[in-house]
């Protein structure tokens, strides 16, 4: 029930503030952004980037946003895999930061942003959840609002290829925004 205090020419209303979950998580030091740059593929190879939740992270991963940008030369396909094992050797991206840089010391993510370029083969295991196709120099972007949730051991993988022009070179970037929430379970190594 709302109560209003009003006099002849003024009315004091109760204040309500809606805080977006992204801002709330950023204020807590639990929101992170990052990207994998200079991904190269084509010439019968692929590239990928993923958010990987290590087995003993003790957090759930909530994907908020992803983008695929700066793809040049050829039409491309982006496959979105849940909990799959990608081909190639994963490298950790160094382009990851908390979105709230006012906290001291800066929070460190438990989620790993990993990538690989010029890999052969396809992801295996997991689920190919959806696929997007785009023309060169077209950005793909989607705000998921945290609805893609991955427990420890899970991952969101974006796998890039040029099936319509397999011998053409391509390069690009994949970026993510996510938050992490602690879970309290027993981790057995």
Read off the pLDDT band of 72 (50, 70, 90).
confident
Domain count, the chain: 1
How many C-alpha atoms does 125 have within 13 Å on its Cβ side? 10
Structural domain contains residue 162: yes
Whole-number Å distance between alpha carbons of 124 and 128? 9
Structural domain contains residue 15: no
129 forms beta bridges with none
Distances (CA, A) of 51 to 26, 45, 59: 18, 21, 13
What is the residue range of 36's domain? 21-182
Residue-wise pLDDT tens digits, 33-65: 999 999 999 999 999 999 999 999 999 999 999
Query: Which pLDDT score is estimated for 182?
Result: 94
Structural domain contains residue 80: yes
Asked whether residue 170 carries a pLDDT value surpassing 70, the answer given is: yes
Query: Which pLDDT score is estimated for 98?
Result: 97
Whole-number Å distance between alpha carbons of 35 and 51? 10
Place of tokens 């840089």: 101
Q: Whole-prediction pTM value?
A: 0.88
Look up the CATH number of the domain holding residue 175: 2.60.120
Read off the pLDDT band of 2 (50, 70, 90).
low
Structural domain contains residue 188: no
Query: Which pLDDT score is estimated for 17?
Result: 80
Give me the mean pLDDT over the 161-165 stretch.
Answer: 91
Structural domain contains residue 4: no
Structure tokens at 54: 């290590």
Query: Which pLDDT score is estimated for 70?
Result: 82
Query: Which pLDDT score is estimated for 73?
Result: 78
Asked whether residue 189 carries a pLDDT value surpassing 80, the answer given is: no
Asked whether residue 1 carries a pLDDT value surpassing 80, the answer given is: no
Structural domain contains residue 12: no
Structural domain contains residue 9: no
Residue-wise pLDDT tens digits, 131-162: 999 998 889 999 999 999 999 999 999 999 99
8 A C-beta contact, residue 57 and residue 152: yes
What are the DSSP calls for 50-95, one per residue? EEE--TT--EEEEEEEEEEE---SS-EEEEEEESPBPSS--EE-S-
82 forms beta bridges with 127, 156
Structural domain contains residue 35: yes
């Amino acid at each position: 029930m709302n109560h209003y205090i009003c006099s002849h020419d003024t009315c004091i209303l109760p204040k309500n503030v809606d805080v977006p979950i992204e801002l709330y998580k950023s204020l807590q030091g639990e929101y992170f952004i990052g990207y994998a740059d200079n991904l190269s593929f084509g010439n019968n190879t692929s590239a990928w980037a993923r958010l990987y939740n290590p087995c003993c992270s003790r957090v759930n991963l909530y994907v908020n946003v992803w983008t695929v940008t700066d793809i040049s030369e050829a039409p491309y396909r982006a496959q979105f895999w849940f909990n799959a094992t990608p081909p190639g050797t994963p490298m950790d991206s160094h382009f990851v930061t908390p979105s709230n840089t006012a906290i001291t010391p800066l929070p460190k993510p438990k989620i790993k942003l990993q990538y690989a370029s010029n890999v052969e083969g396809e992801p295996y295991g997991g689920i190919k959840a959806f696929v997007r196709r785009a023309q060169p120099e077209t950005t793909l972007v989607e705000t998921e609002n945290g609805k893609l949730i991955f427990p420890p051991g899970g991952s969101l993988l974006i796998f890039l290829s040029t099936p319509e022009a397999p011998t053409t070179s391509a390069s690009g970037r994949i970026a993510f925004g996510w938050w992490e929430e602690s879970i309290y379970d027993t981790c057995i190594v």
